[in-house]
Amino acid sequence: MAKKKTKFVCQDCGYESPKWMGKCPGCGAWNTFVEELAPSVSNRRLTFATGLQTEAAKPRPITDVETKQEVRITTDYQELNRVLGGGIVDGSLVLIGGDPGIGKSTLLLQVSAQLAQHNYQVLYISGEESPKQIRLRADRLDAASNNLYVYSETDLQRIVQYIEDMNPAFVVIDSIQTIYMPDVTSAPGSVSQVRECTAELMKIAKTKGIPIFIVGHVTKEGNIAGPRLLEHMVDTVLYFEGERHHTYRILRAVKNRFGSTNEMGIFEMKELGLEEVLNPSEIFLEERPVGVAGSTVVASMEGTRPVLVEVQALISPTSFGNPRRMATGVDHNRVSLIMAVLEKRAGLLLQNQDAYLKVAGGIKLDEPAVDLAVAVSIASSFRDKPTSPVDAVIGEVGLTGEIRRVSRIEQRVQEAAKLGFKRVIMPSKNLGGWNIPEGIEVVGVSNIGEALRHTLGGA
């Protein structure tokens, strides 16, 4: 009898080695290698490679390929439709990840119930809950429907058989880490199991045109557990973010083959489930203090949507040898850069000051247009001079202190005017070429000194 060959696979990145190693050469993680049986050439699965051969097998000019408008299934959640690029595309494979208890299963169960109420046949497969548990949650969320079928199973072969028998319009897998294939010898959740199960689900989605949503567990760093190959295989990757002890949840797309990756959807967790927030700017500004130093409002773009958020700064003398720099919601390195510009170009002595920055509401801002708002907040707290409560600040700060132009300025100003702001401090290069809304004043500034004079009265 031939000896079975084994290999060792890193459970973080999928690196394979013929022998066990303490540290993975691929990702640098320690003690992540698990022994698995190496499949023979005759039994090696080619599911992913062969599953997409649904059309002509020979090469042809791209101009001869027939195209048609993507068929999208729209849900009752406008926020979800926006993040997905307009709705659920037939035959798409969507991966959604998030912290435990954040609301992934709640969101998908509510979406499944909505589609079922529109006469779509939905199959909800759970490897973590029994049908009775799902029914209890559905009763609490008022998500029960005759077109919503629940199935508790972890064997992918049985799952595939039920999908072929039912031919549903929509499938949910909760979660991919609990599903296994009997042909693969490793345990559920391992690199091999996740890779093979996802490849089989991709084949079903593409050949039958069934949109499939997959729930993925995340690691303590916040990334989806398993190899990065999992995110490469699917069509769309969504992250459900937010603090467990706060009611607001943010749905982001970090990969989307059918839409923009910069879109953001906001939901609020209530007793009867998730409800979408159609005007997030009001939510982020409803508790903003008036007349307090260190608070500035910025109009940020999340995809195609302008969102007004509050940037808060607290500057205090340090009691340490090295001043502390802490930031939540903005990049720590960006804050250090802006403080250096303020010290060099605006004459603010910040080298012996601790700086604490926060974006209210738990949102993360990563675009350059928030630079000026961060700078004004820092200067306001340092000088202990509050900014005007009806001012909004937009602009990118350069290393020489110049204020550079930003994109989509008209949408940003319109959002500020809609929420009652009276003045917008913005780059002078963005003036002209667009219509200024009624009831709002725009002030163009070319450097950091001008911006501080307009917002803080010469600070």
224 annotated binding-site participant: no
155 annotated binding-site participant: no
Which single residue is written with the structure tokens 């008036």? 290
Write the DSSP string, 125-161: EESSS-HHHHHHHHHHHT---TTEEEEE--BHHHHHH
Which run of H or E residues covers position 192?
A: helix 191-208
Which residues on neighbouring strands pair with residue 388, listed in sequence order? none
Q: From the CA atom positions of the chain, what is the Rg in Å?
A: 26
Cα–Cα distance, 62 to 69 (Å, whole number): 17
Number of neighbours of residue 42 by Cβ within 10 angstroms:
5
**E-strand spans in 41-157?**
72-73, 88-89, 93-98, 122-126, 148-152
Which residues on neighbouring strands pair with residue 6, listed in sequence order? 37
105 annotated binding-site participant: yes
- 191: tokens are 């690199």
Which single residue is written with the structure tokens 């999208």? 72
Coil/strand/helix, residue 366: coil
Torsion angles phi and psi, residue 235, rounded to 5: -85, -35
Number of neighbours of residue 56 by Cβ within 10 angstroms:
9
> What is the residue type of 1?
M
Number of neighbours of residue 410 by Cβ within 10 angstroms:
14
395 annotated binding-site participant: no
Cβ pair 200, 103 in contact under 8 A: no
Angle made by CA atoms 38, 44, 46, in degrees to the nearest 5: 140
Reference 128, options 80, 82, 174, 63; nearest CA is 174
Which run of H or E residues covers position 115?
A: helix 104-117
- Give the annotated binding-site residues: 98-105
- Give the annotated binding-site residues for ATP: 98-105
